[in-house]
Structure 1
Amino acid sequence: MNVSNSNAVLILTAYGPPGPLTYGVFFVIFLVYLATVFSNLALMLIIFFDSTLHKPMYIFLFNLAINGLIGSSAVCPTIMQYLLEDLKSISLTSCLLQTFFINVYATCAYAILTVMAYDRYVCICKPLQYHSIMTPTKVRLLLAVVYTFPLCALTGQAYLASKMPICKHIINKLFCVSLAVVNLACVKSTLDTMLVLGLLFVFCLFPLFFVILSYIKILIVSINATKTAQMKALKTCAPHLITFINFSSATFSSVIYNSFYDYLSNEVSVFMSVHFILVPPLLHPLIYGMRTQEIKISISKILRKNIFCTK
């Protein structure tokens, strides 16, 4: 990092002064964050300890829960801290780290949802070949790709951002995001902006296209199947499809928030910014817990073994 940037302090101006409203928002975010941590940890423990869930789909779901904890923990504690403080300041280093983990959360979530769509495609379109295709080695390879490419690309982007000489110190947002950091530079670089947009295309739009293509193929196969097979395919794909739509809508809200922040009301801006961080990590484990039969059975077994048997 440049010497001129090493001690830089940035001010986040999207917060109001501490008062009853900010305390109420703090309480809501605290409850949501607590529920997010509990639900994701519970899902991870259920998958870890129940050997019947050691299958590709649930291994990917386990990683999606880890990713949700990374995303919510990168932002929620900081927001809660700033809601109670008069001065909302953050060092450039901390801002870059926060941006890095938010980007890891977004890109890895899409990557995990993409390999989950591939898993559902193989399960429905090639059921007899499923176990020969989705081998443990194949699952480990997919997870390596899920983490390696985003982490390498985002590390490079964060390094380049840390080298920019900055002349501005005001970020009119609730937390640090890539485009806001780029706009702090003394000279606005088209290359840096294009890099951020390029990462958005590669790690968000391309997975979106792949997931849509997978479901088109699943739909074609399901149309020609029996009614029973159609219902089975629907039950198999419904949790992933709901999760994917939920995360895509949250991502779309975040893009709108970062692009048109100056034209939105404060209430809409706050909702759209926290929606991306708060809602998906909380809903993903709940969606799978309510709509996935094997997880519900596992939860029932745990309750019978540890609660009802004790009584």
Structure 2
Amino acid sequence: MKMENLSGVKVFSLSVLNETWQIRYLLFSLTFLLYILILLTNLILIVTITLEKALHEPMYIFLCNLCINALYGTAGFYPRFLYEILSGSHVISYQGCYLQIFVIYSSVMCEFLTLTGMAYDRYVAICKPLMYHSIISSQIICKLIIFCWTFPFFTMSVTIALSIRLTLCGSHIDKLYCENWSIVKLSCEATVVNNIMGFVFIIIYVGFGILTMLSYMKLISVCTKSREHRIKFMQTCVPHLFALINFTVTLVFDTMYSRFGTSYIPKRLRNLLALQFLIIPPLFNPIIYGLKLTEIRKRLLKQCHRVK
């Protein structure tokens, strides 16, 4: 996609970390450690699911996709953020800014769709167990995984294409990373088309959210009637429910801050809230699944014994 800059903006300035160098070094160390933990936890789950044939089932394939997406999305933020902490530079090129927007937010959408797919998989497994393998076939899983990636890529391509055509009257983004809405607010001209398309995409993803909610309402209704279903729900659905709530809450924080952020909130707190969806889901999703799902836990222990 060609980026034709109509406003003459060559770089964007991001929110500045007004910290001493001692604090910067501490922040760098903590962020680097966090990123390493994110890489390790997600890679361990990916390798375990890939190597263990017993885990080549729809639920674990979705989980593997969730971990791959976490690596993809965090790669759009952490390496550059670590560089900015040490360099003290808080500017990013025009093209680099849009690339970061594309990676981070297509990752967010991919995670949302993957969680929706996981909810549908659990709904069929518990509510229609006899039809499970005919409904959730390998072909269907393949199509769902492809959709989880292609639709966010399409969504973000359209969003960025609409933003690039705008003439900008500023170049400062009051965040530690690039965000499309922040750029749209810098426009010197009307942004009606951007707003309409943004609203359309939000409605679409809200629709997926409603589908997920309906799946869980049906699951809970069925599980209250059977002890066997309750056990299955606790074993396979609770981790996913935790991940879904975790992701939704952190994403709502980011959305609310982007749309209604206020200067009355201390800057450090604003920065922290804005980074929640880049910290909590990528780190805790693999931990939650690794500890809670019995089969994952067994295979992890098996891999550890092999290494020893």
Where on the TM-score scale, by shorter chain, does this alignment land: which range? Answer: over 0.9
Match of 1:169?
171
CA distance in 2: counterparts of 1:218 and 1:23, whole angstroms: 48
* TM-score normalised over the length of structure 1: 0.93
Q: In the alignment, what sits opposite 1:97?
A: 99
CA contact (8 A) 1:178 1:196 kept: no
Relative distance call for 1:230 and 1:13 in structure 2 (3 A) is: closer
Match of 2:197 among 195, 198, 216: 195
Corresponding residue for residue 122 of structure 1: 124
2 CA distance for matches of 1:8 and 1:218?
51
Q: Counterpart in 2 of 1:215? A: 216
Q: TM-score, normalised by structure 2?
A: 0.94
1:171 counterpart SS class: coil
Per-residue CA deviation, residues 132-163 of structure 1 (Å, 9 max, x unaligned), is: 11111111111122222221121121122122
Corresponding residue number in structure 2 for 1:113:
115
Q: Aligned Cα RMSD in Å?
A: 1.6
8 A Cα contact 2:101 2:179, kept in partner? yes
Measured against aligned partners, the alpha-carbon deviations of 1:221-246 in whole angstroms (never above 9, x if no partner) come to 11221x24312222121111011011
The corresponding residue for 1:270 is 271
CA deviation map 1:27-84 (0-9, x unaligned): 2111111100111111100000000000001111111001111111111112212222
**1:23-62 equivalence runs, <5 A:** 23-62=25-64
Match status 1:11 vs 2:13: yes
**How far 1:262 sits from its partner (Å)?**
2.6
Structure 1 residue 246 corresponds to structure 2 residue 241:
no
Cα gap change, 1:188/1:255 in structure 2, threshold over 3 Å: closer, same or farther?
A: same
The secondary structure found in structure 2 opposite 1:31 is: helix
What is the CA-CA distance between 1:191 and the residue it aligns to?
2.0
Aligned AA for 1:63?
A: N
**CA distance in 2 between partners of 1:252 and 1:135 (Å):** 33
**Identity percentage over the alignment?**
31
- Match of 2:12, SS state, is strand
Of 121-130 and 16-25, deviating more is: 16-25
For residue 177 of structure 2, give the secondary structure of its aligned residue in structure 1. coil
- Tell me if structure 2 keeps the 8 A contact 1:12–1:174: yes
Distance 1:84 1:261, change over 3 A: farther
In structure 2, the partner of 1:146 is 148
Contact 1:2 1:165 in 2 (8 A): no
Unaligned runs of 5+ in 2: none
User: How many Å separate the matches in 2 of 1:215 and 1:262?
Assistant: 35
Instruction: Name the CA shift for 1:81/1:201 in 2 (closer, same or farther; >3 Å).
Output: farther
Are residues 1:20 and 2:22 paired? Answer: yes
User: How has the CA–CA distance of structure 1 residues 31 and 89 changed in structure 2, closer, same or farther, with 3 Å as cutoff?
Assistant: same
Question: How far off its partner does 1:3 sit?
Answer: 4.9
Aligned partners of 1:285, 1:136: CA distance in 2, in Å?
23
Structure 1 residue ranges without an equivalent (≥5): none
Distance in 1 between residues matched to 2:253 and 2:229, nearest whole Å: 35
Q: Is the 8 A contact 2:7 2:169 kept in 1?
A: no
Which deviations, in whole Å up to 9, do the C-alpha atoms of 1:182-205 show, x marking residues without a partner? 1222224122133234323322x2
